[in-house]
A and B are shown apart, each in its own frame.
Chain A
Amino acid sequence: MNLMILKRFKNELIVFIASIFVIYAIFYKSSADSFVKNKKTDIESSISEISRVVELKKVWKSKSILKKINLFKTIVSKNKLESFKKRGQKVIVKYKGLNIKELNSVIKHIMNNPFQIVKLKIDKQGKEKYRVELICKW
């Protein structure tokens, strides 16, 4: 009897199966869209994170930082270097009697290199003479 019912409603059954197939296909397409959307967001976020980490490490963990730190000793003449103390990853540099040109060289060196400025103090001591105290780490 069940077989007879199936035979009787064969057309409806075929249309029903085709409808189920199309519903499955719509669901498949929709889940593919949502999968791709999420995956794309994840990938873009990963790529952006990796690129940012690489960029930050390149800047703030530069391998040539020590060379650049040591340049504080020679950037102005020796007699103007009051003190240079390097402890671990920290340096304390003091200059005295710097003229504008020398002051600009020191500031430019600080500005263009990835030192973390803990303290920078510039005081005018007389006409066009400056005292600089710098503490920085890396």
Chain B
Amino acid sequence: MGKSNKRLLVHKDMPNITTNENIDIILTPQFYTFLKEELGVKFAYQAKQIAPSLFDDYLDKSKEYQFFVYKCEEYWCFFAYDIDEMSLFLESRGLKKYQIGKIFFAQELSDKLDNAINLGEKTALKTIDNIVALVPKRLMGSKYIYKDLDLKDLSLNHGISIGSSFGSLIPLKQTVAITILLTILSTIFILEGNRVKSSIADSEEKEELLISKNSKLSSSRIRKSILAQYEPIDKIERLKRDTIEDISKLLSSNSHLKELTVDEKKVSAVIEANKATINQIISNATKKNLTAKKEGSVVRVERVL
């Protein structure tokens, strides 16, 4: 779109168009109402805010108008236009809404239209008192030589970029906002993903260091095989030792060890003691999850491994 688009002067006597290309249009005063005011405002958005009230007495209240403002020398140039009326007219001439690129106003051509240009059988376009206006051709005289205006080379600076929103379900402003939001979200997710991925670098380094120190243990299969060999030994031998220690804690000055047997299946001890101490030994052994059984004047304590 933009400068590369073809331009078209839009007036009610224009012929039908057959094109698939996008077109920048220049509206003639048939499609807009123009006001030129000297206002004490600095910015265009401020001027645009007061535009509806300026046009209060000039516009048809049953229609819905859009407003456009730009600074023209010491004045503000105000335009009111009915976008539906314009787009319906263009569609009737074969130009689809979505083909409309930028919209310009013929007022911008005021310095080029000292000599009128021909707009068809009945009207001409001419600058009168610095305002571009439609003039009935009968006022121009039959011998009037109309100017040929090459729209392609004209410098037009005040266009409205709303064409792209015509055929779309999503307006341009929302498209930009949504796209920016989604792009920011995407970037956050990707950065976060990268941060998460790099967060295991420390653990990987620790693993590599351990493997480099124990190169034979780099394979998980070897490690599992070694564990399968040593873990049962570690478990059973610790249990044997813990049991011997538990049995030794059952001994006191009133009791003494008569027999201790450790084999692959169990740890068993016979403790000699007086009657009162035997009960105490049985009670303490039970607390330590040892099986204790009184056998006459001795107690047999054991744990199955």
Where the two chains meet, the residues of A that have a C-beta atom closer than 8 Å to any C-beta of B are 1, 3-4, 7-12, 14-15, 18-19, 21-22, 24-26, 28-29, 31-33, 35-36, 39-40, 43-44, 46-47, 49-54, 56-57, 59-61, 107, 111, 114, 116-124
Contact = CB atoms under 8 A, between A and B. Distances in A.
B196 A111 contact: no
Contacts of B224: 49
B179 A60 contact: no
Contacts of B188: 25
A118 B245 CA distance: 17
A16 to B, nearest CB: 10
B178 A18 contact: yes
Contact of B244 (A3, A59, A107, A114): A107
Contacts, number: 166
A7 B98 contact: yes
Contact of B230 (A3, A12, A60, A122): A60
A61 B154 CA distance: 95
B175 interface: yes
Interface of B: 20, 22, 96, 98-99, 164-165, 167-172, 174-175, 178-179, 182-183, 185-190, 192-194, 196-197, 199-200, 203-204, 206-207, 210-211, 214, 217, 220, 223-224, 226-227, 230-231, 233-234, 237, 240-241, 244-245, 248, 256-264
Contacts of B190: 25, 28-29
Given A28-B189, A43-B206, A50-B223, 11 more contacts: A8-B167, A15-B179, A18-B186, A22-B189, A25-B188, A26-B189, A46-B207, A47-B210, A111-B244, A118-B264, A122-B261
A10 B223 contact: no
A51 B210 contact: yes
Contact of A53 (B99, B167, B226): B226
